[in-house]
Amino acid sequence: MVQNQETLQYSVAKILVEERRDLLAHLEAEAAIHKELESPRILKLETFQEALTLVDSEGNQLTTTGILMELAPKGDLFDLLSIFNQLPYILARSYARQMAEAVAYLHQKGIAHQDIKLENFLLDSKFNIKLADFGFSRMTNKEQTSTEQVGTPQYWSPEQHEQTPFNGTEVDVFNLGVAIFLLVAGKMPFEQATKDDEFYVHFINGEEEKFWQMHEEEMSPSSGRSFFKDDFRTLMNGMLRYKASERMTIKEVVAQPWLNVTSEMMDKCGGIVAEFLKKKGVSN
């Protein structure tokens, strides 16, 4: 975090350390994509400077290349989930909707994020979502594929694990499905999306009901009631498909009934979170 000495405004800085000047082109590419984005669901890029001057508390001066971004002061969704352990249903749905809107905006602009995970969904002062970190993002289209191993392995799609050509937007949808499941259940849907995983193998075999039976036994072993609602299962089944060509597009994801959340419901999220943190004695 850095402070502008003229405006006194705080920002977040992503800087290039001298030992890694080889990453200059990578940082420039990230800034080039980020500067094209302007949405309430996207962390704002304030500036990219090849000669950014920073001064520490002792007056030492450093000139480097860096990106300055708006500050999201309430942390990220992973940290929030860690405090709640399991989000209340209204919060999970509302945040999932905001997450999907952020990814939909990127795909509409022809951009694949390629590192969708809870840690990259930051929270602004009102606990609304801001998608961040475009270091792996690329311009893409429906036909374009890549084999570059980027992103976070726990969220990887099957084609990434198999090291076969993948489309960035199809991977984003899969990654987002994993993130939404984690948000709702408080745990990952599987360890990795491979045939060796005891949960994901059922997606590969086209036996999704067995996947849900296993999770229901863990989530509600004695209640007799299903933890996962039918419309949520439909959403996950469409996002976590083994065959990328059969996955929902982000446009189809946003149109799913489970994500039909009103703006009034989303507006209540900040107050619910703030009140919960206050009761927990957590500074916000």
| CA–CA distance, 115 with 199 (Å, rounded to integer) | 22
Task: Check pLDDT > 60 for residue 8.
Answer: no
Question: 66 in helix, strand or coil?
Answer: strand
**Cα end-to-end distance, the chain, whole Å:** 17
- Residue 46 and residue 151: Cα distance in Å, rounded? 24
Average of per-residue pLDDT values in the chain = 90
In sequence order, the 6+-apart residues with CB closer than 8 A to the CB of 150 are: 114, 115, 136
What pLDDT is stored for residue 53 in this prediction? 72
Of 138-142, 182-186, 218-222, 247-251, the one with minimum mean pLDDT is 218-222
Q: What is the pLDDT of residue 221?
A: 65
Which residues, including other chains, have CB under 8 Å from residue 259's CB and lie 6 or more apart? Answer: 93, 96, 97, 100, 235, 253
Q: pLDDT tens, 145-159?
A: 999 999 999 999 999
For the record, the structure tokens of 144 come out as 């374009």
Instruction: Give the tens place of pLDDT for each residue, 210-261.
Output: 999 999 998 876 666 889 999 999 999 999 999 999 999 999 999 999 999 9
In angstroms, rounded to a whole number, what is the distance separating the alpha carbons of residues 235 and 252? 9
User: What is the maximum alpha-carbon separation in the chain?
Assistant: 64
pTM of the model: 0.92
Fold agreement between 2-70 and 77-280: no
Q: Topology of domain 77-280, per CATH?
A: Transferase(Phosphotransferase); domain 1 (1.10.510)
| Identity at 16, one-letter amino acid code | L
List the domain boundaries for the chain. 2-70, 77-280
Q: What is the pLDDT of residue 85?
A: 87
3, pLDDT greater than 80: no
- Between strands 121-123 and 45-55, the pairing is unpaired
Mean pLDDT calculated for residue range 162-175: 96
| CATH class for the region spanning 2-70 | alpha beta
Which positions are annotated as active-site residues? 115
